[in-house]
Amino acid sequence: MSAQHADLLDELLAGKHRALARVITKIENRDPGYRDLVSALHGHTGHADVIGITGSPGAGKSTLVDKVANYYRDRGETVGVIAIDPSSPFTGGAVLGDRIRMANNVGDMDVFFRSMSARGSLGGLSTATTDAVKALDAFGKDKIIVETVGAGQNEIDIVKTADTVAVLVPPESGDNVQMLKAGILEIADVFVVNKADLPGADRAVSDLKEMVHMRGHEPTPEFGDDVEGYDWTPEVIETVAKEGDGVEEFVALLDEHHELLDETGMLEAKARTRYAEEIRALLREDANRLVADEIESHGGMTELVEAVFDRETDPYSVAADVISPIEDCVHD
């Protein structure tokens, strides 16, 4: 690690928010040496509660996150918020930028807010998000909230990043049916019918409770069946986030779920699964880079495609030729 990065790491661990912001910027931009930084952070992690909040656009995620962060601050806890925004098709950056949307917490340095790009990741989460969570954890944030864009099948990656996942549902009953089709039911530990003062809220609560009942209790496939004592049926709660109604009850459910995770060993099971996924993701990232370099050594993709188009070779043979030197190195 360079002396500059070592100093930056020391400043982050000393609790300097400017250093935290700079480290996350290096992580998001994949600056040279960022991996050394993240590696050094790892030994200081494992203390924060990580909460995922997702839901369809317009469900009021940002408002609820604001109120929850404010509630944690009133309890004397520090908070880090990562809001995953859609990626710009031109720059890869967050479309909404590094904006502060949490009006109640502006100026409170113990609520650190960062907007990040999804970067086209299938689950709306990128490796950079995982690394940013580590930075917030190492910094000493008690609670880390990851707010993700959208709510669909592609959002299931949040369950591999957060200890507890809350899914926000707008009052309109039509969205509930769509969410069931999207498989969201399987990832939620808590369902929140936000804007519960609007028409349709009672129907949304009723539909969700029926869906949860129909599903019944099933083992969580990501973590196997060997976690004894973990028996959690997703709860359905109503909130009016803009007024703060239901926030205390929502936080109480988050606390209750985290306590059960800790008591049963599921928290450790989730961490092990998270590390396995992270290792796989990094290996895929590195392997893709090696393959890209090898393709260039064969004249580039355009030349390979032309050879296939002219029937001089075929895709399987090209793939075998490209991967062969890498395979030989691995075997040796």
pLDDT in tens, 140-163: 999 999 998 664 544 566 777 899
Placement of tokens 């928290």 in the chain? 267
d(CA 290, CA 321): 14
In terms of Cβ atoms closer than 10 Å to its own Cβ (0-12, 13-18, 19+), residue 37 is buried
Compute the C-alpha angle 306/309/315, nearest 5°: 90
Whether the pLDDT of residue 295 is over 70: the answer is yes
Q: Is 274 part of any domain?
A: no
More confident: 60 or 134: 134
Q: What is the pLDDT of residue 93?
A: 45
The region, left, alpha or beta by phi > 0 then psi within -120 to 50, assigned to residue 140 is left
Give me the mean pLDDT over the 189-213 stretch: 85
Assigned domain for 316 exists: yes
Flag whether pLDDT at 291 surpasses 90.
yes
- Asked if residue 257 belongs to a domain, the reply is yes
First to last CA, the chain: 29
The residues, any chain, with a CB within 8 Å of residue 234's CB and separated by 6 or more, are: 185, 188, 189, 190, 191, 212
Same domain for 108 and 81, yes or no, is: yes
Number of H helices, E strands in the chain: 11, 7
DSSP structural state of residue 162: -
pLDDT for 88:
44
- Reply yes or no on whether the pLDDT at 106 is more than 50: no
- Tell me the C-alpha distance between 274 and 276, whole Å: 5
What pLDDT score was predicted for residue 97? 39
pLDDT band at 198 (very low <50, low <70, confident <90, very high): confident
Q: For residue 289, how many C-alpha atoms fall within 13 Å in the half-sphere facing its CB?
A: 5
Residues 139 and 285 in one domain: no
Q: Does residue 36 sit in the same domain as residue 109? A: no
131 Cβ partners below 8 Å, 6+ apart?
A: 27, 34, 38
- Stronger pLDDT, 100 or 245, i.e. the higher one: 245
Same domain, 143 and 180: yes
Burial 136-149 (b: 16+ CB within 10 A, else e): bbbbbbbbbbbbbb
Distance CA 20, CA 81 (A): 13
Judgement on whether residues 5 and 127 belong to the same structural domain of the protein: no
Range of the domain at 110: 46-263
What pLDDT score was predicted for residue 57?
76
How many domains does the chain contain in total? 3
| One domain, residues 189 and 63 | yes
Give the CA distances from residue 320 to residues 26, 234, 291, 307, in Å, rounded to whole numbers and listed in that order: 36, 47, 11, 14
Q: If residue 183 lies in a helix (H) or strand (E), which one and from where to where? A: none
Which residues, 6 or more positions from 264, have their beta carbon under 8 angstroms from its beta carbon? 227, 228, 229, 230
- Please check whether residues 60 and 151 belong to one and the same domain: yes
pTM of the entire predicted model: 0.84
- How far is 9 from 154, CA to CA, in rounded Å? 33
